[in-house]
Amino acid sequence: MPIRHAPAALVAYAEALFTAAGMDPDKSAIVAPLLVEADLMGHTTHGLAQGPAYLNGLESGAMLGAGEPITIADRGAVVTWDGQRISGVWLTAKAVELAVDRARTYGTCTVVIRRCGHIACLAAYLEMATAKDCMITLASSDPSVESVAPYGGTTPKFTPNPIAVGIPTEGDPILIDISASITTNGLTGRLHGEGKRLPGEWVQDADGRPSNDPGVLFTDPPGTILPIGGREYGHKGFGLALMIEAMTQGLSGLGRADPKEGWGASVYLQVIDPTAFSGIEGFTRQTTWLAEACRADRPAVGVEAVRMPGDGALARKRAALAEGVEIYSGVMEKLALIGDKLGVVAPSPI
């Protein structure tokens, strides 16, 4: 029988852990629910699984739990922050709040953040905007990490470079969360540690031979994760990666052309208020029609039904809120070891 926890208890636990580790309580109160939100949606590599790394980062000083971002530029609808290595989850949440507020005035607002801490699951932020009838685009890269080779190459130059888009409809929002690579660092690292294989040839060894063994990423020299499209159509993922690098690092003015500064993120965020265009009714009439038409499409052989991006995540979230959330094996144990040192007691399962 799966071990489940009450989501509220997990939020309180994570909040207590971060506060005990030195994070400002107001920041812990934002970071904790967003990590649990990722687990509720089924993004298990980027939810509480990130907790040990964040807690270790707070202890070492690699991630700060206090302070405010420095404003590099502010033209009303365009803002640039230097995040100073403060918690990326907190910084991104505050940026979304700012962008939604300013989009009401300007129709759109774009925020870029350099020197941002790791931002965890992009999908977890989307409903912060869609619940307020705004469309949101969020992208991230890490200029200090390389694990994806350019199309046709063998040496890593990029991170997986995720991008997420939240689109309001008259019902559930469309929640897109993808990356420029076939898979992620988090999943390949997890499967390698467990001695498991990938579902397909999503990586390549150091000589460019496709493989389903995540272990090829941990050799010397290392292999690389393949871009979306793989060996045959990887130019598509390569192009997407270049766009995200430009949006996150180019616009923020700090990236791979500069000395590495440690694990973190460069972030691009844009919020659009449809009321500044044709109006929210016209916007959602179009998005709702398309979503319903896609769901009603005749499924291919072997497919039960056509789903919109986010349908599965929202269904998992509703079930977890009703029945409790199952945390990936080993995560609670790792948190408990740190909690013992900090004097924070883990919650009991349901």
**Average pLDDT, stretch 264-288?**
98
Residue 276's pLDDT is 98
Whether 270 shows a pLDDT value over 90: the answer reads yes
**Is the CB of residue 178 less than 8 Å from the CB of residue 164?**
yes
Element (H, E) at 130: helix 123-130
**What is the chain's mean pLDDT, rounded?**
97
Residue 255's pLDDT is 97
Alpha-carbon distance of 163 to 122, in angstroms, equals 7
The pLDDT > 70 percentage for the chain reads 100
Query: Residue 197: which pLDDT band, with cuts at 50, 70 and 90?
Result: very high
CATH number for 1-66+311-350 (one of 3.40.190.10, 3.60.21.10, 1.10.3720.10, 1.10.1530.10): it is: 1.10.1530.10
Residue 291's pLDDT is 98
Q: How do residues 244-267 score in pLDDT, each as one tens digit? A: 999 999 999 999 999 999 989 999
Domain covering 183-225 assigned CATH 3.30.60.50 in the classification: yes
Q: How do residues 101-125 score in pLDDT, each as one tens digit? A: 999 999 999 999 999 999 999 999 9
Residue 1's pLDDT is 73
Pairing of strands 78-82, 108-116: parallel
Pairing of strands 203-204, 224-225: antiparallel
> For residue 148, what is the DSSP state?
B
Based on its alpha-carbon atoms, the radius of gyration of the chain, rounded to whole angstroms, reads: 20
What are the tokens at 173?
């929002």
What are the tokens at 14?
């994570």
Query: Residue 2: which pLDDT band, with cuts at 50, 70 and 90?
Result: confident
Handedness of CA 291, 292, 293, 297 (dihedral sign): positive
Alpha-carbon distance of 54 to 334, in angstroms, equals 12
The pLDDT > 90 percentage for the chain reads 99
**Average pLDDT, stretch 190-211?**
96
Query: Residue 31: which pLDDT band, with cuts at 50, 70 and 90?
Result: very high
Whether 282 shows a pLDDT value over 80: the answer reads yes
Whether 295 shows a pLDDT value over 90: the answer reads yes
Q: How do residues 127-173 score in pLDDT, each as one tens digit? A: 999 999 999 999 999 999 999 999 999 999 999 999 999 999 999 99
**CATH number for region 67-178+233-295:** 3.30.1370.60
Residue spans per domain, the chain:
1-66+311-350, 67-178+233-295, 183-225
